[in-house]
Amino acid sequence: MRILGNVRTYGLDVAQARTLLLGLKAWDAFPLDFIPDGNDISFLPSWAKNFAQTTDGHLLHLANAQDAVLATMDAGIPGAYLIP
């Protein structure tokens, strides 16, 4: 929702992004796995130095804690898989 709700980039507002996400969750042909989030601010990596990096750091740690991989289009997230 954070990414799709970026109206300047994708043209969707938060309500539209929410509707899309709920539709994806209900779509049997494309099952999604949602992982629990028990992490707090103490798990932020040391490279997260400003507000813009806090979500990136949180999501990277969450993925790692679940033996998953954070896939992103942001080359500035160390340890994430960069989507070409």
- CA 50 to CA 80: how far, in whole Å? 18
Say whether both 23 and 7 belong to one domain. yes
Q: DSSP label at 67?
A: T
**Residues comprising the chain, all counted:** 84
Say whether both 46 and 61 belong to one domain. yes
User: Which residue is listed with tokens 């340890």?
Assistant: 79
Say whether both 56 and 74 belong to one domain. yes
Say whether both 25 and 38 belong to one domain. no
Specify the amino acid at residue 73. Answer: M
**Strands 71-72, 81-82: parallel, antiparallel or unpaired by DSSP?**
parallel
Give the pLDDT score at 63.
92
Q: What is the pLDDT along the chain (84 residues), one digit of tens a residue?
A: 556 666 677 777 778 878 887 888 888 887 777 778 888 878 888 888 887 788 899 899 999 989 999 999 889 999 999 998
Question: Please, is 16 exposed, middle or buried when counting C-beta atoms within 10 Å of its C-beta (0-12, 13-18, 19+)?
Answer: middle
Q: Which domain holds residue 44?
A: 33-84
